[in-house]
Amino acid sequence: MPKGFNENEKQKINEMILTEGRKLFSSYGLKKTSIKDITSAVGIAQGSFYIFYSSKEALYFAILEQEEQKIKEHFIDSNLTKAQSPKKALKDLLHQAIQLVEENVFIRQIYLDNNMEAILRKLPKEALEEHFQKDSDSLLPLIHKWQNEGIILQKNPDVIAGIFRSLFLLTLHKEQIGVAVYHQTLEFLINLIVDGMVIKEDLT
């Protein structure tokens, strides 16, 4: 029977589970990391894990959301109105965000060894829908701001958010796109997206 924890203990243990889970998943991947590996690293009984997460896939997904949030914050904190050329600023911003995705070991792991398939099987549909909705919700204020300032087209903000999400998803399919043409493909798509979306050439 798992030990009962007070709220303060739960918070600290959950932080440890997230930290140790991130280390183990990044080093060994989802399939080769067991719940026992995680609980041993944290120092709790194996049964206590289920107080916090229904499965190791649920933990993996929680860490993934944390990693994605770091990248979204970088994107959201941008201010195109301070740039002389909004087009160049947005292209640079997309390149920087894509580089953060490509360099993030944890995010890269999700498509290795069919990790995504394992997660999709284990997570409830509602959790995935909530995740995608949070993606859109985090981008919408920024998109509305750019539209109100006359920087980008007055198109459906949800569609624009979907375009940005689609671009980042492409970074996880380098082999399918073709390694030899991957970077040129992304560069071409970024140019097409920004050139077609940004209204103002400069703010001078």
What string of DSSP letters covers 42-65? HTS-GGGHHHH-SSHHHHHHHHHH
The stretch 6-32 carries a mean pLDDT of 92
pTM: 0.74
How far does CA 204 lie from the centroid of its chain? 34
Q: Which listed CATH number (1.10.357, 1.20.120, 1.10.10, 3.40.50) goes with 55-197?
A: 1.10.357
Residue ranges per domain, the chain? 1-52, 55-197
What string of DSSP letters covers 95-146? HHHHHHHHH-HHHHHTTGGGHHHHHHHHS-HHHHHHHHHHHHHHHHHHHHHH
For residue 28, pLDDT beyond 50 = yes
Q: Which listed CATH number (2.60.40.10, 1.10.3660.10, 1.10.10.60, 1.20.1250.20) goes with 1-52?
A: 1.10.10.60
Please give the share of the chain, as a percent, with pLDDT higher than 90: 39
Question: How many angstroms separate the first and last alpha carbons of the chain?
Answer: 67
Instruction: Return the structure tokens found at 147.
Output: 């539209």
Give residue-wise pLDDT tens across range 60-76.
989 988 888 888 887 77
